[in-house]
C-alpha cells in the first residue's frame, strides 16, 4: 500500500442512518489525477467528506494518506487534513484580509510558528500558481480565476500528497476553466500530487481526459464511461 494515497475496501457510506453508497472499493495512487462525477444527490459529496474525515467511516476499511479512517477521532482529524488540501468551488477566502494574510491564517492554524518560514512558504505557493505579485491584493480585487488560483495555493501550503477539488471550475468561464485545469494537471504531474476532482462539467473531462469514477444508484463505478447527455 506504499503508493496508495486512497484505499477503500468494502466501504459503506452513511449520512445519519441512511445508506448513501455501498460496497465501495477504490484504490488511487500517488500522482494520479481522477475525476469524480455523478448527479446531485448521488453520493459524490458524501464520498469526499469521508475522505477528509467529515463523515465517520463505520463499515469497511479505508486509508487516506496513510491515515486509517476507521480510527480517526476529533483529535486526529487535523493530522489527516494537514496531509491533504481541499479546493472549493466558491473559493472561501477570508474577505477582510489580503492574500498573504489568508495564507498565513491557514499556516498558523496548522501549527506553523516561524514568521520567516511562513513568508517563504507563502511566496513559494504563490509562485507555483503564477500569482507571486498578488500577495497584497484583497480578494475582491482579484478575478474569479485568480481567486481560484489562490484557493489552490492555499491547498498546497502544507505540501499535501492529496488534493480534493470540489467543482473547482464550476464558477469560471471556459477560458479560465482551461487555465485552472492546466494548473491542476501540472501540480499532479510535476509535484507527484494525487488529485481527486469532483465535477459536473463533462466538457472539461473531454478536453482533459483522465480516469473517471462515478457515483450512481448507490454504487461507485471505476473507469466509468461518460456520456454528454
Q: Give 6-36 pLDDT, tens digit per residue.
A: 999 999 999 988 999 999 999 999 999 999 9
Q: Is the pTM of this model over 0.85?
A: yes
Q: Flag whether pLDDT at 1 surpasses 70.
A: no
Query: Which tens digit of pLDDT belongs to each residue from 130-189?
Result: 999 999 999 999 999 999 999 999 999 999 999 999 999 988 899 999 999 999 999 999
| Confidence at 81, pLDDT banded by 50, 70, 90 | confident
Query: Which tens digit of pLDDT belongs to each residue from 83-100?
Result: 899 998 777 899 999 999
DSSP secondary structure of the chain:
-TTEEEEEEEEEEEETTEEEEEEEEEEEETT-EEEEE--TTSSHHHHHHHHTTSS---EEEEEETTEEGGG--TTTHHHHHHTEEEE-TT----TTS-HHHHHHHHHHHTT---HHHHHHHHHHHHHHTT-GGGTT--GGGS-HHHHHHHHHHHHHTT--SEEEEESTTTTS-HHHHHHHHHHHHHHHHHS--EEEEE-S-HHHHHHS--EEEEEETTEEETT------
Q: Flag whether pLDDT at 43 surpasses 70.
A: yes
| Domain 31-53+81-221 CATH class label | alpha beta
Q: Flag whether pLDDT at 228 surpasses 80.
A: no
Amino acid at each position: 500500500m506504499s503508493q496508495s494515497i486512497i484505499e477503500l475496501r468494502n466501504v459503506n457510506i452513511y449520512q445519519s442512518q441512511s445508506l448513501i453508497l455501498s460496497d465501495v472499493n477504490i484504490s488511487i495512487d500517488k500522482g494520479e489525477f481522477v475525476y469524480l462525477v455523478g448527479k446531485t444527490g448521488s453520493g459524490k459529496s458524501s464520498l469526499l467528506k469521508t475522505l477528509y474525515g467529515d463523515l465517520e467511516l463505520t463499515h469497511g476499511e479505508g486509508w487516506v494518506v496513510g491515515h486509517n479512517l476507521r480510527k480517526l477521532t476529533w483529535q486526529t482529524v487535523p493530522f489527516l487534513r494537514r496531509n491533504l488540501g481541499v479546493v472549493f468551488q466558491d473559493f472561501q477566502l477570508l474577505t477582510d484580509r489580503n492574500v498573504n494574510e489568508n495564507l498565513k491564517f491557514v499556516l498558523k492554524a496548522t501549527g506553523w510558528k516561524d514568521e520567516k518560514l511562513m513568508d517563504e512558504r507563502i511566496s513559494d505557493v504563490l509562485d507555483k500558481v503564477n500569482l507571486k505579485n498578488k500577495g497584497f491584493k484583497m480578494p475582491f480585487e482579484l478575478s474569479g480565476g485568480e481567486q481560484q488560483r489562490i484557493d489552490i495555493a492555499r491547498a498546497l501550503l502544507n505540501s499535501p500528497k492529496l488534493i480534493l477539488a470540489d467543482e473547482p471550475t464550476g464558477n469560471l468561464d471556459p477560458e479560465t476553466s482551461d487555465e485552472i485545469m492546466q494548473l491542476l494537471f501540472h501540480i499532479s504531474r510535476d509535484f507527484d500530487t494525487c488529485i481527486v476532482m469532483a465535477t459536473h462539467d463533462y466538457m472539461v473531462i473531454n478536453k482533459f481526459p483522465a480516469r473517471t469514477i462515478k457515483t450512481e444508484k448507490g454504487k461507485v463505478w471505476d473507469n466509468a464511461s461518460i456520456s454528454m447527455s
